[in-house]
């Protein structure tokens, strides 16, 4: 898993995978701390629901999980943006992100929770209804929920990279402009969560999926910046092959020469110091 500066064209996804892995590995302690927050929120919500059952307090506790997790995810994304930029994550960055994005986090988390709840309730209802009408209605609900969740996976990253204003709208713009990569990110994040089971969801966990979205959007925005700077020639630039080597030169350089053994020797600082 080493980069060699040989001038070859590297796909954006290859750079994304390597940078996400190394940034997560180099900051495992921060991912673990952030994941503790997700675990505490989930445990509190599920415990309250188990205690009160299908009553108003129990359902309210369960419903609060989405908005609470959304707020925490946005605050974590603001701190992890520093990681993606090659800086150290700080508690102050999490607090700044919390103050900046708590309203947008509430809306994003609530929207994701609503999409999951709608799909969960639609499946048994429309299956019981049966017939063509039930199948069509179930398909419509599931497609709408899947589209919403694919878009909302970008929400914390949008808040961290572009700010909270209009974040939900930007999520859908990013999805429809990058459907292939959005599907890839969803599959990557699903695999990340499955693997996190073996580390008690402390690493990489949900913080790892947040980091992946931040890394991915940060790279995509470099392409959009290139199109914007092209001005009138933007149409020709859009149709051309994206020069990811050029756009991601700093990211490629930050990982140059790193190999799997660095993950066990923790040689990141020495390599960066040598490169500087």
Query: Which is more confident, 240 or 71?
Result: 71
66 has a pLDDT exceeding 50: yes
Least confident of 5-19, 88-102, 103-117, 130-144: 5-19
Q: Per residue in 180-230, pLDDT tens?
A: 999 999 999 999 999 999 999 999 999 999 999 999 999 999 988 888 887
Mean pLDDT across the chain: 88
- Work out the average pLDDT over 36-58: 93
Of the chain, the end-to-end C-alpha distance in Å amounts to 21
Of residues 84, 6, 25, the one with CA closest to residue 256: 6
275 has a pLDDT exceeding 80: no
Tell me the domain boundaries of the chain.
12-268
Least confident of 28-37, 80-89, 128-137, 222-231: 222-231
> Distance between CA 138 and CA 150 in Å, rounded?
18
- Work out the average pLDDT over 124-145: 92
**Residue 15 CB partners (closer than 8 Å, separation 6+):** 219, 244, 248, 251, 252
- At 238 the pLDDT is 55
């Amino acid at each position: 898993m080493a980069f060699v500066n040989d001038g070859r064209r590297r796909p954006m996804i290859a750079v994304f995978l390597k940078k996400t892995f190394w940034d997560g590995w180099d900051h495992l302690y921060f991912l673990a701390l952030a994941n503790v927050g997700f675990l505490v929120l989930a445990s509190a919500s599920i415990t309250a629901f188990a205690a009160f059952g299908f009553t108003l307090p129990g359902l309210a506790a369960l419903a609060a999980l989405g908005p609470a997790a959304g707020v925490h995810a946005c605050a974590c994304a603001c701190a992890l943006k520093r990681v993606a930029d090659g800086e150290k994550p700080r508690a102050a960055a999490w607090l700044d992100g919390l103050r900046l994005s708590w309203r947008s986090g509430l809306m994003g988390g609530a929207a994701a929770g609503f999409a999951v709840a709608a799909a969960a309730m639609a499946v048994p209802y429309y299956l019981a209804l049966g017939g063509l009408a039930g199948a069509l209605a179930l398909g419509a609900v599931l497609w709408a929920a899947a589209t919403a969740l694919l878009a909302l996976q970008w929400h914390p990253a949008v808040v961290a990279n572009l700010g909270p204003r209009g974040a939900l709208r930007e999520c859908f713009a990013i999805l429809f402009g990058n459907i292939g990569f959005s599907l890839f990110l969803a599959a990557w994040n699903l695999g990340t969560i499955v693997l996190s089971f073996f580390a008690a969801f402390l690493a990489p966990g949900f913080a790892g999926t947040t980091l992946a979205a931040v890394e991915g959007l940060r790279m995509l925005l470099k392409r959009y910046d290139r199109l914007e700077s092209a001005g009138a020639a933007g149409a020709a630039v859009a149709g051309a092959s994206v020069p990811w080597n050029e756009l991601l030169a700093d990211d490629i350089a930050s990982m140059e020469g790193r190999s799997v053994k660095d993950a066990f020797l923790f040689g990141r600082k020495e390599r960066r110091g040598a490169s500087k």
